[in-house]
Amino acid sequence: MAKILLVDDVYTARSMTERVLKHVGRYEVIAVGSGEEAIAAATECTPDVIVLDISMAGMDGLSTLRALRAQGITTPVVAYTARTERALGEFVGQGFDAYVQKNGNLSNLLTTIREIVGK
């Protein structure tokens, strides 16, 4: 069973995504609420995929990604954000492996993770 590290600072959003990934996607999910926790969990639990919110209070998604890569963690990272597609474009080339818009459409995230895990 693939292991997914979910990083989102909004509790409700995090728990919803967590439940979707667990019950619908049948993944093992470790959910954390900040970039710092994410870095700790990434080294500890060696997840297969990291689902990372971009707009987070404190350490945001981009700096979390950089910190992860700086520590030599090469786990694929999916940017998962409520920002518009257009705003997502600004993050292209920043090193994320995929981008998914957080718009309530749950299957988008599931499809993307399945593609990465299946690779």
Partner 1 sequence: MHPTRTLPDESLAAELLPPLLVALGVLAAFAFGLLMLNQYRADIWPYLLTGALVGSIWASGSLLRRGRLQAAGSLTAHALALLPIFSILAFGLAGNPLIYLSALGVAAAGLLISPAAPLAMARTALLTLLAFLVVPPLIGRPIASLSDALAAGLTSSLLLCGVAVLSWAGAHNVRGTIGWALETSAKSERREALLRRAQADLERTVRERDQLNDRLYRQSLELAAAKAQAEAAFRSKSSFMATMSHELRTPLSIIIGFSTAMIEHPEMYEGEPLPPSYINDLAEIKRSGEHLLRLINDILDLARVEAGRLELNKTVLPITPLLEEMVRTAQGLLKERPVILRREFQGVLPTVIADEMRVRQVLLNLVSNACKFTSVGEVAVGARVEENEVVLWVRDTGIGIAEADQPRIFDQFEQVESHDTRQHTGTGLGLSICRWLVELHGGRMWLVSELGKGSIFYFTLPRVQGAGALGERTPASTLALAE
Residues that bind partner 1 (CB under 8 A): 10, 12-13, 16-17, 19-20, 23-24, 55, 81-89, 92-93, 98-106, 108-109, 111-112
CB of 20 to partner 1, least distance (A): 6
- Secondary structure, 3-state, 77-90: EEEEECCCHHHHHH
- The pair of three-digit structure tokens given for residue 36, joined into one six-digit string: 């710092």
Q: Is 6 exposed, middle or buried (0-12, 13-18, 19+ CB in 10 A)?
A: buried
**Chain-centre distance for alpha carbon 23:** 17
| 86 vs 119, beta carbon nearer partner 1 | 86
CB of 110 to partner 1, least distance (A): 10
| 55 vs 75, beta carbon nearer partner 1 | 55
| 58 vs 89, beta carbon nearer partner 1 | 89
What is the phi/psi pair of residue 30, to 5°? -110, 115
CB of 65 to partner 1, least distance (A): 17
